[in-house]
Structure 1
Amino acid sequence: MQSHGVSGALMHIARGRHLVHWRLKTPPVDEDCRTQMQLSCYSPNEIRTAYGLNSLLNAGFIGAGQTIVVIDSFGSPNPLKDLKRFDADYGLPDPPSFQVFHPLGTAKFDQNNSDMVGWEQETNLDVQWAHALAPGAGIVLLTSPVSETQGVQGLPEFLKLEEYALDHHLGNIFSQSWGATEETLFTPEGKKVMQDFDDFYRKATMQHVTFLASAGDSGSANPDVNGNNYPFPTVGFPADSPWVTAIGGTSLYADTSGNYQRETVWNEGAGSATGGGYSKIYREPFFQRQHLSPLLSGQSHGYRGIPDVSFNGDPTTSVPVYLSFMPDPGYYMFGGTSAGAPQWAGLIADANQMAGHSLGYLNDTLYKIGSNPTLASQAFNDITVGDNKQDKIGGYSAGPGWDAVTGWGTPKAGFLVPLLAQPPQ
């Protein structure tokens, strides 16, 4: 939801831009979603199967000993209760620990405030689906009483939350499903906020913290502070920071057992598509200069390209999230790149456990793997079909290897996670 800061919660909605609600008391069954609603609603087991994670989970690499830190505005009225319902319905264990911190205070929930409800939805999405991919990892949720929108608003508070998490050693994997259009931060105050974040990211990276951020849900078209799209391709912060691993979105096609079939770039048009493109402030980082082809380096004009990797994000190839606070409680279907960031956080928790230590900064390793054709073919689903172009604005197309819409692609976790745990030299 780029116009409201969240990369997801209200923008990734299917069918007329409305949330799709499963009106039965039981969790949705993918086969029924396809026949009754003409969309898929992948269960945790289907997602794990599609991306090759089940073999690792079955071998005991479940994120044990790790903690995922989730940062959101407002939070959710009862995220643990809803997570327990999600776990019970899908046969998942409850996390070994679940903590919520409000170091900056709280705002009273107002269910008539659509922005607040959107953040509540985002919070449940982040918590439930990070847990689904790393059921043995702890979860820490930190909330801000200020809504992060566009420009500087809400970002200083998020930075304070992340500093609090680092200072109190709350976890080593940070999931950031939010962002602001880069151009809205080209003011002196905005540039200071970006610099403050980058100084913090650098400090935290030295302490082996991993930062993940969703690339956005508006394709190449992103709004200014007044909600009007810029007339040229743009990207978002913090996904554009070289210290962050940016997550793009795909349309995942798998059968109702979760067996992978194919993927394309997620692009529904009308402003709903994966973010991706090139920064106008961050120069091309070393890991891209070294590992991308001269043709791609020429396209970048010497600037940072995003995303780095991707995950399923299409609302029509959705995942269910349990929301008890809605007027009609139950499961609602979600997509968006904000679904990908917490799921990648789960994968990294599994990889940390396998490695026996926190992996920290990922991008050097991801680009070493991606630029090696033999390793890349086994570690990533290379997405080569589709683009994130929006009407009259243009955008970028997928192609073999890295591209500015899906990065290196989506994980083949059974091979990629061990490679992350023991990186190639």
Structure 2
Amino acid sequence: MKKAKSLLALSTGLAVLLLVAPTASAASKKNAGKDPYGINKILAKLIGKKHVSPNKHIQLDIVLKPQNQNQLTDEIYNVNTPGKPNFKEFYTPARFGQKFGQPAKVVGQYRPYFAKYHLKTQTFSNNLILKVSGSAKNVNKAFGTNLESARYHSNPVQFSTKRPKLPAKLADNVLTVLGITSLNVKASVLAKKSAKKAAKPVAKYAPSKFTNRYQLSPLYNQGFKGQGQTVGIVSFAGFDKANAEHFWKAEHIATKPNRISIKNIASPSVQATNDKTSQFETTVDVEQAGAVAPQANIRLYHANFSDVGMVNSFATAFDENKVGSLSMSWGINEYMLHYYKNNHLLSPVYGQVMNLVMAQGALQGISTFIASGDSGALAQGVGGKIGPIKIPNYSTYAFFPADNPWVTATGGTTIPFSRKIKKGVSVSVNKERAWGGDYLFNAYTKGRNELLNNIKLFSLATAGGGGGISHLYNTPQYQEGVSGVNTFNARQYISNLMQPRMNPVLLSGTDYGRNYPDVSANADPLTGYQVYDKAMKGWSVQGGTSFVAPQFNGATAVMNSGKGQRMGLWNAQIYQLAQDKDKTPFTVMDSNTNNSNLYYTGQPGKLYNQATGLGTVNFQKLYDNYQ
């Protein structure tokens, strides 16, 4: 019998692996790493436990330990920073695998082992991630697990009460196993506007509002429209291509024909995410990216929302290396990641895994944009109880993976507008500001019941562009020394009981971590953009930072088509440009009044704030000065 050792399986709240101590019969087997889980506490909270059907199809990721990890950050800056000796010498997937993945002889040991148990194995070129799939009974045999299903609170969950094991020579190189169990905790960042449906598009809500306002249109006039480029979309629902094609035609946007391709990625999910609402999110992403870059191809990477689904979507995009830019409009707040950890459901390695995956994209020169969220700096966690009374948990929590240092996080603004809310009550915004519903609060004072009884209006008042300071990732090098980073001004416009607060005092302080967003653009539903989706009754006007991410994705394809090369990781250059008064393409929003994402506000005289990042972008000037 071959010597075996257990795998320390680590994951996030997206998918969680439950572990127990080895049984007496396994006492002679060597364990890999320490077990941070208090499994007995968790088992007591699971209800309706039963064995998984032996023929159920299971999909796992084995993530291997990276090599030369201490060189990874320096290499990213070397290829993305002007003046560095290897500037623009972007990696191929194979080169990344050779440098940072496991050697081929190590990776090659896994396939024959799993083949004995009739499990299929696929290895990415990065030599770090192995996809393993097959029936539950064969997974149990190969890993020594006993897959079960149950419910944890209201969430269905799949788990194993036995720690997974592999022969020692295989287990020694494993960082984590993902996919043994999945909790379906998801969030798209699409904010709906309370507006009537329209039979046809309206000019003031067209994509040209973005391209004209932020000076991308001059690049069109130079002939740069994304030709020769492919934009990638990561989403967790499919969509109907006919919606996007109808949208572009109705908007009179001359697009490249047959431009959309879809890569369906097998991934586990306890609850499906391919419903109409989720498909609407995908429709927004494709329509907006394709409208901004009308001559670019579009590649959709579609998976289920889970730890495996998110990792494999990005890993597949980077492995193909077809796209020069990529965007995603989904995520989960950091509180939930910490919550699962504190309840012994996760270990923080999933953040490390995503960091490795995103680092590969940055090394390959792929510009990745992640929407920063639509609840401002605030997010809802798991509340408590005092007797029968539920106490909400509503506070400042960062948004994952917009908080990742190797992506460009896109925040939201509100552009000038004026509108009557009801008789005698109007709202107006006189200049572009951070998107935060506090500008509706004057209307709140005049008609409190109107706001509280109108769910749609109340949701607009408590929405805003995501932004804050991560406690998962450290402050990256490109943000160090930039005025406004790790300092903040704030006004608490929403109470812990989720009620509007009038005239909150200005707070100031310091913190440390990855500050986000990096850039911002119009995202407010009240000044938003139109979308076409036949299944959702045609045309509607929507908002959210999920518009901004694909718009920047498309804008990057336009600039790439002009420059004839990939822009790469934006952040390595844009923070340098922001500090050059002559070259900066940014309009900084530094006012600390009427400029809030419901918590963070501007910092007068400083270049950065957590409500809008570096500010809005003049794309013509960015194109002229970006190397």
TM-score range (shorter-chain normalised) is 0.7 to 0.9
- Shift, 1:354, TM fit: 2.1
Answer whether contact 1:350 1:417 (CA < 8 A) is retained: no
Counterparts of 1:74 and 1:106 in 2: how far apart (Å)? 13
- Shift, 1:344, TM fit: 0.6
Residue in structure 2 matched with residue 268 of structure 1 by the alignment: 437
Answer whether contact 2:189 2:374 (CA < 8 A) is retained: yes
Residue in structure 2 matched with residue 363 of structure 1 by the alignment: 571
Q: How does 1:189-268 map to 2 (within 5 A)?
A: 189=346, 191-224=348-381, 230-253=393-416, 262-268=431-437
Q: How does 1:270-285 map to 2 (within 5 A)?
A: 270-285=461-476
**One-letter code aligned to 2:379:** N
Which range is displaced more, 91-100 or 182-191?
182-191
Q: How does 1:336-375 map to 2 (within 5 A)?
A: 336-375=544-583
1:167-196 Cα distance to aligned partner (Å, 9 max, x none): 122312110111110122232736222111
Counterparts of 1:54 and 1:389 in 2: how far apart (Å)? 28
Answer whether contact 1:137 1:349 (CA < 8 A) is retained: yes
Q: Which has the larger radius of gyration?
A: 2
Residue in structure 2 matched with residue 258 of structure 1 by the alignment: none
- Shift, 1:254, TM fit: 7.5
Answer whether contact 1:182 1:237 (CA < 8 A) is retained: yes
Change (3 A) 1:254 1:167: same
**Is the aligned partner of 1:13 residue 2:192?**
yes
Answer whether contact 1:68 1:174 (CA < 8 A) is retained: yes
Q: How does 1:30-109 map to 2 (within 5 A)?
A: 30=204, 42-76=205-239, 78=240, 80-95=241-256, 97-104=259-266
1:240-293 Cα distance to aligned partner (Å, 9 max, x none): 1111111110002389xxxxx831111115431111111112111111113335
- Shift, 1:209, TM fit: 1.3
Percent of paired sites with the same residue:
27
Q: How does 1:124-135 map to 2 (within 5 A)?
A: 124-135=283-294
Counterparts of 1:229 and 1:59 in 2: how far apart (Å)? 53
Answer whether contact 1:250 1:264 (CA < 8 A) is retained: yes
Change (3 A) 1:158 1:281: closer
User: Relative contact order (alpha carbons < 8 A, sep ≥ 6): 1 or 2 greater?
Assistant: 1
Answer whether contact 1:130 1:346 (CA < 8 A) is retained: yes
Residue in structure 2 matched with residue 118 of structure 1 by the alignment: 277
- Shift, 1:125, TM fit: 0.6
Answer whether contact 1:382 1:410 (CA < 8 A) is retained: yes
Change (3 A) 1:199 1:93: same
**One-letter code aligned to 1:86:** F
What is the aligned residue count? 376
1:331-355 Cα distance to aligned partner (Å, 9 max, x none): 1111111110000111111121222
- Three-state SS of the structure 2 residue aligned to 1:282 is coil
Answer whether contact 1:99 1:140 (CA < 8 A) is retained: yes
1:280-329 Cα distance to aligned partner (Å, 9 max, x none): 12111111113335883894423111111101100000100100112x2x
Residue in structure 1 matched with residue 326 of structure 2 by the alignment: 174
Which range is displaced more, 174-183 or 411-420?
411-420
Counterparts of 1:58 and 1:316 in 2: how far apart (Å)? 30
**One-letter code aligned to 2:326:** F
- Shift, 1:369, TM fit: 1.0
**One-letter code aligned to 1:158:** M
**One-letter code aligned to 2:580:** N
Tell me which of 515, 522, 535 is aligned to 1:325.
Answer: 535
Answer whether contact 1:6 1:119 (CA < 8 A) is retained: no
Counterparts of 1:240 and 1:350 in 2: how far apart (Å)? 25
Structure 1: segments with no counterpart, 5+ residues: 31-41, 149-153, 256-260
- Shift, 1:63, TM fit: 1.4
Structure 2: segments with no counterpart, 5+ residues: 1-183, 385-390, 419-429, 439-460, 489-507
Counterparts of 1:207 and 1:337 in 2: how far apart (Å)? 25
**One-letter code aligned to 1:266:** W
Residue in structure 2 matched with residue 35 of structure 1 by the alignment: none
Counterparts of 1:54 and 1:131 in 2: how far apart (Å)? 15
Change (3 A) 1:295 1:318: closer
TM-score normalised per structure 2: 0.56
Answer whether contact 1:221 1:230 (CA < 8 A) is retained: no
**One-letter code aligned to 1:250:** T
1:83-121 Cα distance to aligned partner (Å, 9 max, x none): 1111111111233521011121799x99xx9x8222111
TM-score normalised per structure 1: 0.81
Change (3 A) 1:295 1:362: closer
**Is the aligned partner of 1:23 residue 2:192?**
no
1:27-77 Cα distance to aligned partner (Å, 9 max, x none): 1243xxxxxxxxxxx21223211111111111111111111110111222x
Counterparts of 2:266 and 2:253 in 1: how far apart (Å)? 32
Which range is displaced more, 291-300 or 275-284?
291-300
Residue in structure 1 matched with residue 71 of structure 2 by the alignment: none
Change (3 A) 1:190 1:357: farther
Change (3 A) 1:388 1:118: farther
- Shift, 1:7, TM fit: 3.9
**One-letter code aligned to 2:547:** A
Change (3 A) 1:225 1:91: farther
Residue in structure 1 matched with residue 296 of structure 2 by the alignment: 137
Change (3 A) 1:229 1:196: farther
**One-letter code aligned to 1:382:** V
Counterparts of 1:236 and 1:106 in 2: how far apart (Å)? 23
Counterparts of 1:417 and 1:245 in 2: how far apart (Å)? 17
Counterparts of 1:348 and 1:229 in 2: how far apart (Å)? 40
Residue in structure 2 matched with residue 408 of structure 1 by the alignment: 614
Answer whether contact 1:68 1:138 (CA < 8 A) is retained: yes
Residue in structure 1 matched with residue 120 of structure 2 by the alignment: none
